[in-house]
Amino acid sequence: MKPFFGIDITDDKKNETMNAEPFVVAKPSAASALKIEREIEEVISEMKANYKHAGKHGWKSNVLVWCAAIFAFVALFAVEFAVDVTLDVKKVAAVLLCWGVAAVFVGVDLLLWRLSRKTDRAAEWADDAPKPRGRKDAGADKGDVPPSSAASEIFAELRVPKTAKSVDVVGFKYREKRGRIRPRGRGGVNGATVYPLYTFKGYVKDDALCFACTDEGVYAVPLSGIRAIRTVDKRLYLPCWSKGTPLTHEKYKPYKLKTVRGRVDENLRVGWYHVLEFVHKGETWGIWFPNYELPAYERITGLKAEE
């Protein structure tokens, strides 16, 4: 099954073209694309600036290392002197105080070092992260942040129905080996793999299931080729929660969603996921999506998920 929102790097590690590219039926104008590109760049630049600002405490950590070392060095000889030369309780207490101060410096330093490592990894993540495909601009269901003005203009230009709802899909780079798809993602909690999450406007138009976003345009999958919604009983790790409504809301409880600690911040663990299967020109394709989006896909396609 060929991943629709996948990027095949089997033969070309630098490939950045999605498999879905041939299904694009409409693209935003160059002026609109530039406008939204600038908005995305501003968001990414702001993220990087925040991470770098958070990492400026590194020099403080180095100072504390030296302070702790000096206190420990002085305290070491002071203890030997106090024990060997005198039994004065006050001198011994002063020495112990030095050791206590050194211990505090070491503890604070370790805390700052851990935070520094985390912000450094965050900056690396921001540098390497792929640009979002309509994530912040795909609109929303009730409770989500509304699209920006630039995004609204593009959706109007692409003639996306105002009634279209936001749907999440899972995209990933992959290698094909012995006929099997081997997805590649980023390191996450406890060695798990975290996959990119994209948000589109999903709707049916002209006998096709359409996915619209601000930077790539509209992908159209013929409804006549859609065969089934498969259920994959495996956990899935995603970068974040994309909805405005909290994942603790009553309607999301059946999906076993949980926030867990990842490389940089918190990741989303999904209990299982689904694959929308369709056939086009004799080839079987699949659209991966998280379980909490099942009602939306069942409503759009008229199909029920297979167990």
DSSP-based three-state secondary structure for 218: strand
Assigned token pair, 275: 């694959």
Same domain, 272 and 230: yes
Same domain, 79 and 172: no
Separation in Å, CA 112 to CA 70, 115, 177, 278 = 19, 5, 44, 51
Same domain, 175 and 77: no
Where does the chain have alpha helices with state H? 30-54, 58-85, 89-128, 149-157, 294-301
Same domain, 256 and 172: yes
Residue 269 placed within a domain = yes
Element (H, E) at 132: none
pLDDT at position 136 is: 38
Distance from C-alpha of 121 to C-alpha of 4, rounded to nearest angstrom: 30
Distance from C-alpha of 112 to C-alpha of 69, rounded to nearest angstrom: 16
DSSP-based three-state secondary structure for 125: helix
pLDDT at position 151 is: 85
Residue 214 placed within a domain = yes
Same domain, 22 and 171: yes
Residue 131 placed within a domain = no
Distance from C-alpha of 224 to C-alpha of 107, rounded to nearest angstrom: 64
Residue 290 placed within a domain = yes
pLDDT at position 7 is: 95
Same domain, 236 and 215: yes
pLDDT at position 123 is: 44
Same domain, 233 and 189: yes
b (16+ CB within 10 A) / e for 198-224: bbbbbbbeeebbbbbbbbbbbbbbeee
Find out whether 216 and 28 touch, Cβ atoms under 8 Å.
Answer: no
Same domain, 96 and 211: no
Same domain, 185 and 211: yes
Same domain, 206 and 114: no
Mark the ranges of the chain whose per-residue pLDDT is less than 70.
43-44, 47-148, 187-191, 262-265
pLDDT at position 52 is: 55
Same domain, 186 and 280: yes
Same domain, 102 and 19: no
Residue 148 DSSP label? P
Domain C-terminal end among 126, 157, 185: 126
**Residue numbers of the domain that contains 59:** 54-126
Residue 306 placed within a domain = no
